[in-house]
Structure 1
Amino acid sequence: SVNLPDPVPKVAGVSVQTSSRRGSTGKLAPGIAAEIRDPETDRKLSLHESGMLWVRGPNIFDGYLNDPARSAEVLRDGWFKTGDLGRFDEDGFLFIEGRLSRFSKIAGEMVPHEMVEQKVLTALKLDAQAERLIAIMSVPDEAKGEALVLLTSIEIDAQQLRAALREAEVPNLWVPRMIKRVERIPVLASGKLDLGKCKELAAAA
């Protein structure tokens, strides 16, 4: 679906609430309810906090065919666990921050891999490249739970990267702990990351 902006009113003193907002997927359709919950405990959070997005409405399916265990994982009392982490702003616009599978919990904070990737590309002025050059993954860490690993198919100097991220005011927890050079970043036929192979490469870092 596409959110088209409302026309700008020409009458002085008249304001219109737009139907789109940069970076947002839009507002919920009529009849759809949403909750933001803690990804680990399912505790209900404020809609303005980042967390797991749950939705309920007439469009929610009854479950996976012949797979009650999988259905039980995502369906509870009419609510559907989307697998997306997101938040709502004060006007009800939904912002999706990524899939739970692409987040790490470091020192109690949820760190989004895709946003870290974008910060790295921007800091190193690589964001105009068509080919996927990097991927952020994580490995277990005794002190903070997880640690970020930067997989890269090009040479990246660790000190230069850290300096560039500091200059861009990227949080310390978002700075990759390790950098691993690989021949290429594994991707699927769809163009999406092959997370399984990327995890194997990160584990060998």
Structure 2
Amino acid sequence: MLRTEVIRPVHELLDGHAAARPDDVAFADDARDVSWRRLATTTRRLAGHLAARGVRPGDRVAMVMANAVETAETYLAIPRAGAVAVCLNPDAAPAELAYMLADCGARVVVTDVAHAGLLGPDVTAIVVGGDYEDLVADEPPTPAPDPTDLDVTAFMLYTSGTTGRPKGVELSLRSCLWVVAACWAPIVGLGPGETVLSGLPLFHSYALDMCVLGIVATGASERILPRFSPTRILEMLGDGYTVLPGVPTHFSYLLQAAGHRPRHRLRMAVSAGAILPASVNETFEQVFGVPLLDGYGITETSTMVAMNWPHGTRPYGSCGLPLPGLAVRLVDPATGTDAPPGGEGELWVRGPGVMRGYWNRPEQTADVLVDGWYRTGDLARADANGYLTISGRTKEMIIRGGENIYPAEIEAVLLRAPGVGDAAVVGRAHPDLGEEPVAFVVGDPDLDAVAAHCREHLTGFKVPVAFHLVDVIPRTGSGKIKRFELARLLSGEKAPA
């Protein structure tokens, strides 16, 4: 059921936990932890100091920070100041970081020592390891504004950039907390006593919603890791953590590192951000002995659209059922009409989680928001019980001689081939056929055997015409494949580092 009681202003959520469980740990990392009472205080003080420095409602305050407790604090303090928290990838290339900072027009940037030198001389910075600590330790001259309007833009996250230059996605506090109310609280069961172990990058919407707002809305606790490390996670799982979020590649790496059933006290694991291969899902549950719930979400819908539940039917390979209170359609891209039962169509979404729009891009916003429906660009099918399975993307579709080919289908076959640890497929131009599929694989496989495996499991026109060994498949922080980088390799360009 929907847990709508968690959809409240940030300060009300924090003050409630500070009163009910003041000394319980809210967030912890390798350097420090923060109790609920302390978190309510540090975020209030930082919000007041931002207001005192001239930050006004609607102003953008950027964050360029590695995973840390301070990142979670800042995510919460900026909305308390009435401003928009713009969390940027701290590992972005300098040119891309400069582009996003200029695009969002941030008045102030909160950063850490490691990234302060990337910001340029004209940026007003608050630095963790410097003045940040002074600000959260002292009472501000101006009280925290603590606005109560849940429908203005509170967060702006840049799209993953799987097809090109990223766009700022405007999300409200209501849209994000609605996902908590519809997914993380009722389905995953976050609440007091639950402890989350997360190596997800906090600049991504998945982590913002589950690993920051999901914690604050429900009163759970979280250990923030600086990055995903399979060996470290396996070492820490025995310390009492109950929920482990990740992206599909994380769980593949955990299986490779585990070797046998590891010691842990997990209640469940959660996957989102990209398609989870059915084989990985099933094997993980066999080795770890707990449910691995696969879901589907995107930044433009404040993350989750569909989720598998821990009880009842869970078809492997499916991303589950639409969240309660959410409307979905599968629309035939060729006709614009709803696909027939069992047919494939572009997934359209309508509901409280849909974004307000793209920052300063009205035309691109109008392209994807149609009468309240968000056109995801993802292709999906629904079975007779309503379970959704993502089959590819409309823009990633390869058309070879009039035949539609979806890379995700080929990648699922490649990942079952001996010696293949990761894989991606992109289209290559062909003078007669239009396009043809080309595969990139990671690992130590016999490529002739991989080709034979594909011929065995795929219709002929879907079999890649070439196979390339690479050290790594380029992915976004959420695990999505950066196909445009692989396409550059095919065209002779050097892919960005």
TM-score (norm 1): 0.74
**Match of residue 36 from structure 1:** 330
Is the Cα contact below 8 Å between 1:137 and 1:202 reproduced in 2? no
Q: Which amino acid aligns with 1:151?
A: F
**Match of residue 144 from structure 1:** 433
Following TM superposition, by how much is the alpha carbon of 1:78 offset from its aligned partner in structure 2, in angstroms?
1.7
Task: Give the one of 365, 372, 375 matched to 1:78.
Answer: 372
**Match of residue 455 from structure 2:** 166
User: SS at the partner of 1:49?
Assistant: coil
Q: Which amino acid aligns with 2:315?
A: R
Following TM superposition, by how much is the alpha carbon of 1:69 offset from its aligned partner in structure 2, in angstroms?
1.0
| Structure with a larger share of its residues in helix | 2
Following TM superposition, by how much is the alpha carbon of 1:119 offset from its aligned partner in structure 2, in angstroms?
1.0
Question: Within 2, Cα distance between the matches of 1:143 and 1:60?
Answer: 41
Larger gyration radius, structure 1 or structure 2: 2
Question: Within 1, Cα distance between the matches of 2:373 and 2:476?
Answer: 32
Asked whether 1:196 is paired with 2:461, we answer: no
Question: Within 2, Cα distance between the matches of 1:198 and 1:62?
Answer: 32
User: SS at the partner of 1:22?
Assistant: coil
Following TM superposition, by how much is the alpha carbon of 1:47 offset from its aligned partner in structure 2, in angstroms?
4.3
User: SS at the partner of 1:173?
Assistant: helix
Is the Cα contact below 8 Å between 1:35 and 1:47 reproduced in 2? no
Question: Within 1, Cα distance between the matches of 2:324 and 2:440?
Answer: 42
Q: Which amino acid aligns with 1:126?
A: G
Return 86-95 or 53-62, whichever deviates more: 53-62
Q: Which runs of 5+ in 1 are unaligned?
A: 7-17
Question: Within 2, Cα distance between the matches of 1:192 and 1:45?
Answer: 26
Asked whether 1:26 is paired with 2:320, we answer: yes
Task: Give the one of 388, 397, 402 matched to 1:108.
Answer: 402
Q: Aligned-pair RMSD on alpha carbons?
A: 2.8
Residues 137-189 of structure 1 show CA distances to partners (whole Å, capped at 9, x for unaligned) of 1112243331011234657544x44332233x31112201123455x345246
Q: Which runs of 5+ in 2 are unaligned?
A: 1-182, 189-307
**Match of residue 43 from structure 2:** none
Q: Which amino acid aligns with 2:481?
A: L
User: SS at the partner of 1:42?
Assistant: coil
After superposition, the Cα gap between the structure-2 partners of 1:163 and 1:82, relative to the gap in structure 1 and judged at 3 Å, is same
Residues 110-140 of structure 1 show CA distances to partners (whole Å, capped at 9, x for unaligned) of 32213312312323x124x3xx4x4311112
Q: Which amino acid aligns with 1:147?
A: E
**Match of residue 4 from structure 1:** 309
**Match of residue 9 from structure 1:** none
**Match of residue 384 from structure 2:** 90
User: SS at the partner of 2:416?
Assistant: helix
Is the Cα contact below 8 Å between 2:476 and 2:482 reproduced in 1? no
Q: Which amino acid aligns with 1:178?
A: A
User: SS at the partner of 2:357?
Assistant: coil
Q: Which amino acid aligns with 2:353?
A: N
User: SS at the partner of 1:36?
Assistant: strand
Residues 34-73 of structure 1 show CA distances to partners (whole Å, capped at 9, x for unaligned) of 2212335534322421221012234333422321111111
Question: Within 1, Cα distance between the matches of 2:412 and 2:364?
Answer: 32
TM-score (norm 2): 0.34
Q: How does 1:173-192 map to 2 (within 5 A)?
A: 173-182=461-470, 184-188=471-475, 190=477, 192=480
Is the Cα contact below 8 Å between 2:333 and 2:346 reproduced in 1? yes
Q: Which amino acid aligns with 1:65?
A: W
After superposition, the Cα gap between the structure-2 partners of 1:22 and 1:188, relative to the gap in structure 1 and judged at 3 Å, is closer
Is the Cα contact below 8 Å between 1:151 and 1:185 reproduced in 2? no
User: SS at the partner of 1:45?
Assistant: coil
